[in-house]
Amino acid sequence: MIVLGVESSCDETGLALYDTSAGLLSHALYSQVAMHEQYGGVVPELASRDHIRRAIPLLQQVLDDAALTRDRIDAIAYTQGPGLAGALLVGASVACGLGLALGKPVLGIHHLEGHLLSPLLASDPPAFPFIALLVSGGHTQLMRVDGVGRYTLLGETLDDAAGEAFDKSAKLLGLGYPGGPAISRMAEFGDPLAYKLPRPMLHSKDFNFSFSGLKTAVLTVVKNHPGNVCEQDKANIARGFVDAMVDVLVAKSLSALKHTGLKRLVVAGGVGANRQLRDALNAAAVKKHFRVYYPELEFCTDNGAMIAFAGGLRLKQDPRLATHDYAFNVRPRWPLSELTAPNESAA
Ligand code: ATP
Ligand code: MG
Ligand code: FE
């Protein structure tokens, strides 16, 4: 079965074709980062308008790359939520309009399920069950994953998401948007002993996180800094920030593994691309005898491949999940806990 995936929840338009037997056939992405950069963050209305411009050319591109015609698509999976309402509506209307025109069924996918399952697209995928550390721009969660749609939330952030803390701290340091990759590069040159920043909730006996205090600590350092913050000092602060963030993410992941007795950790979402986090988790995995799995770097941040893939997995278990009812609605807020396993929803 060939599934077209459509992602448009934020500032990336992603399309992909996934074959449930042959794997990923093609994928294409347009990132609006350059457009939003001048505003220091995503402007929702501009995002929606740009998705409209990009969607159909990207569709043609994935078809061309896979050497397929539209009629070969068997089903269309689109991001139904969570995300920006206007942006989601563009992807949903493209998917449902195409479905109607081609007479092919459509299926709404939860964006975080896409992120969560994206490491399964890699060449050496983890088996269920595993612990997932989902660290994206809008979410930070630790989950126990027993199968598709079988997610148990262990803990989550009480305030800012990890990616959000990266972005806001980078902004305070004048490093531009999105800040994650920039702050990570800067930190490479920083002195780890220069700034010891707080590690919020490191010793709380749960699996929750809190990152707004860490961001405030960066603000305080910058504010109290005599004169302009020079490049080396920026690097030192970046290093202090990244070390604190990584310490907390690693410690909480280790306690989730210990608590559940599981030996597989999956890292998903944009912050999963972070080099320092990967290095620290890889070192911990050797020491504590567990395995850690990541999505391919290009599938850490938003993309259509993860949506096509999640759609394919669900439809493989229950083809009746796709519908010929094209009256769509998007879900800008949609707790992952509301998802059910494909066979359960069929029952
Ligand atoms: P959500 O999926 O929660 O709705 P989102 O889609 O905006 O949010 P992603 O696309 O998964 O989030 O990830 C984007 C986030 O990842 C941004 O906050 C960005 O700064 C961060 N990020 C990307 N690369 C890196 C990196 N190398 N180091 C740290 N953070 C990074
Ligand atoms: Mg993005
Ligand atoms: Fe995302």
ipTM: 0.98
**Ligand 3 center–CA 298 separation, angstroms:** 12
Strand partners for 109 = 79
- Which atom of ligand 1 is found nearest the CA of 301? 10
pTM above 0.80, yes or no: yes
The band of 93, judged by pLDDT with boundaries at 50, 70 and 90, is very high
- Which atom of ligand 1 is found nearest the CA of 138? 3
Residue 343: per-residue pLDDT = 82
| Minimum CA distance residue for ligand 1 atom 29 | 180
Q: SS3 of 82, please? A: coil
- Which atom of ligand 1 is found nearest the CA of 82? 4
Residues in binding site for Fe cation = 111, 115, 302
- Which atom of ligand 1 is found nearest the CA of 275? 27
What is the Cα Rg of the chain in Å?
20
- Which atom of ligand 1 is found nearest the CA of 300? 11
- DSSP label at residue 81: E
What is the mean predicted confidence (pLDDT) over 172-198? 95
Per 3-state DSSP, the chain is made up of helix, strand and coil in percentages (nearest 5) of 50, 20, 35
Is residue 344 pLDDT above 90, yes or no? no
Residue 178: per-residue pLDDT = 87
**Ligand 2 center–CA 224 separation, angstroms:** 32
Residues in binding site for substrate = 134-138, 167, 180, 274
Beta carbons within 8 Å of 142's beta carbon, 6+ residues apart: 131, 132, 133, 134, 153, 154, 155, 156, 207, 252, 253, 256
Mutate to test the pocket of ligand 1, among 10, 168, 171, 271 (most ligand atoms within 8 A of CB): 271
Q: Which numbered ligand comes closest to the C-alpha of 167?
A: 1
| Minimum CA distance residue for ligand 1 atom 4 | 138
The band of 176, judged by pLDDT with boundaries at 50, 70 and 90, is confident
Q: SS3 of 75, please? A: strand
Say if residues 115 and 308 touch (Cβ distance below 8 Å).
no
Query: How many Cβ atoms sit within 10 Å of the Cβ of residue 228?
Result: 9
Residues with CB under 6 A from ligand 1: 9-10, 83, 111, 115, 136-139, 163, 166-167, 178-181, 184, 269-271, 273-274, 301-302
At 225-279, the pLDDT tens digits run: 988 899 999 999 999 999 999 999 999 999 999 999 999 999 999 999 999 999 9
Say if residues 70 and 103 touch (Cβ distance below 8 Å).
no
Residue 345: per-residue pLDDT = 56
What is the mean predicted confidence (pLDDT) over 306-321? 97
Residue 216: per-residue pLDDT = 97
Strand partners for 81 = 110
What is the mean predicted confidence (pLDDT) over 291-301? 96
**Ligand 1 center–CA 55 separation, angstroms:** 21
Q: Which numbered ligand comes closest to the C-alpha of 163?
A: 1
**Ligand 1 center–CA 136 separation, angstroms:** 4
What is d(CA 46, CA 7) in angstroms, rounded to the nearest whole number? Answer: 16
- DSSP label at residue 266: E
> In this structure, which residues have their CB less than 5 angstroms from ion ligand 3?
136, 302
Is residue 209 pLDDT above 80, yes or no? yes
What is the mean predicted confidence (pLDDT) over 286-301? 97
Both tokens of 87, joined, read 């942006």
Residues in binding site = 111, 115, 134-138, 167, 180, 274, 302
Task: Give the DSSP H or E segment for 309.
Answer: helix 305-317
What is the mean predicted confidence (pLDDT) over 216-233? 94
Residue 177: per-residue pLDDT = 86
Alpha-helical segments (H) within 224-267: 231-260
Residue with tokens 């999940």: 321
The band of 347, judged by pLDDT with boundaries at 50, 70 and 90, is very low
Is residue 181 pLDDT above 80, yes or no? yes
Is residue 346 pLDDT above 60, yes or no? no
- DSSP label at residue 141: E
Question: What is the rounded average pLDDT for all residues in the chain?
Answer: 96
CA 321 to chain CA mean position, Å: 24
Is residue 17 pLDDT above 60, yes or no? yes
